[in-house]
Amino acid sequence: MLSIHKTINGQMTKLDKVEDGCWVNLTYPTEDEMSTVTALLGIDPGFLRAALDEEETSRIDTEDGQTLIIIDLPSVEKGEAVVYSTLPLGIIVAEKCIITVCLKETPVIRDFQDGLVKNAETQKKTSFILYLLLQVAKRFLQYLKQIDKIYNYMERQLYKSQRNKELIQLLDLEKSLVYFNTSLKANEVTLEKILRGRIITLYEEDHDLLEDVLIEVRQAIEMANIYSSIISGMMDAFASVISNNLNVIMKVLTSLTILLTLPNIIFGFYGMNVDNLPLDHFWWFPLVIAGVAIVVVGIVLKMKDLF
C-alpha cells in the first residue's frame, strides 16, 4: 500500500502525488508500487527491498546521495496467545522526501499518519526521522510493560494450578524478550552512528532529541534484561517445584503400595494348604494380623516422614 503525506500548516495531510518535503510510506508494497516510487524519486531498488527482508538487521547505509536506515520495531500478534516479535522498518532519506518501507502496518506509522505525533514535520527530514525513532523506542517500552503484566498474570495462574499451558506462554514471553533485547541493541548501535553526525546532518536541536531516543532505547534494553532474568528464574523455580511435587507423590504412592502389600502377604499364607498355622480355624484372625501390620508399618512410615 502506497500513501503520501505532508505537513501543511502544522497538520499531517494526505496527498495524491509526490511533492517536495513529503513523506512516502510503503506498507507491504506491490511490484508496481515499488516501480512507481523508483521511477518518480530515483530510489535505489535495493534500498526498497532491504526493508522487506524479515531477517534484515538494524543498520545504516549511504549510496549516491541517498541514505538507508533500517531500524527494528516491535510487533505483536494476538491469537490464542499474545506473541511479540520484531520486524525491520526501512527509512530512506532522498533529496526531495523521506520514504518508509515496512512489511506490515504498524501502530508507529499509523500514529504519524493520523497526526498524533506533535512537532513531527515532513519538511524537516532529520527531525522527522528522530521523532520516528523516538516513537519506536516508546513502543518497545509499552510492549515491555505489557509483557510484565502478562507475566504477573501467568505467575498467579501457576500458583493456582501448575499447567503446561502457562509454562508454554512463559516460554513464549522469554523468547519475545530475547528478540526485543537483540533488536534494541542493534538499534542502539545504529543510533550511535547517527549521533556522530557523519551520515545524517544533525542540527543543534536534533542532538537533544537523539539523546532522548538513546535514553529510551537503553532503558528498554535494561527492562528487557530484567524481565528476561525474572522469567528465567521463575521458570527454574517452578520446574523445581513441579519436580519436588512429583517426588512427594511418588513417595506417597510407594508407601501406599507397601501398606496394601501386607494384607496380600498374610492372606497368601493363610490361603495355602499348609497345616499348623496359628489359629487357622478362626476366619477373622488373618484380618486382625493384617490390620495390626498395616497400623504398625503406617506409624513407622509416618515417623520416617515417608507418608
Q: What does the block give as the cell for 206?
A: 536534533
Q: Which of 10-14, 63-67, 221-225 has the highest mean pLDDT?
A: 221-225
> By residue range, what is the domain housing residue 194?
2-243
Last residue of a domain, one of 196, 223, 243: 243
Which CATH number is 14's domain given? 3.30.460.20
Instruction: Report the domain count for the chain.
Output: 2
Last residue of a domain, one of 202, 220, 243: 243
Question: Is 239 found in the same domain as 268?
Answer: no
* pLDDT value at 89 more than 80: yes
b/e 98-115 (16+ beta carbons within 10 angstroms → b): bbbbbbeebebbebbbee
Question: Is 223 found in the same domain as 165?
Answer: yes
Q: What percent of the chain has pLDDT over 70?
A: 93
The residue with cell 512507481 is 36
Q: What is the pLDDT of residues 170-193, one digit of tens each?
A: 888 888 899 999 999 999 998 888
Is 0.75 topped by the overall pTM?
A: yes
The residue with cell 533488536 is 183
Question: Is 214 found in the same domain as 188?
Answer: yes
Question: Is 283 found in the same domain as 223?
Answer: no
Distance (Å, rounded) from C-alpha 66 to C-alpha 46?
12
Classify residue 86 as left (phi > 0), alpha (psi -120 to 50) or beta: beta
pLDDT of res. 216: 92
253 band by pLDDT with thresholds 50, 70 and 90: confident
Question: Is 38 found in the same domain as 68?
Answer: yes
* pLDDT value at 262 more than 90: no
User: Shortest CA distance to 137 belongs to which of 209, 207, 206?
Assistant: 209
Mean pLDDT (the chain) is 84
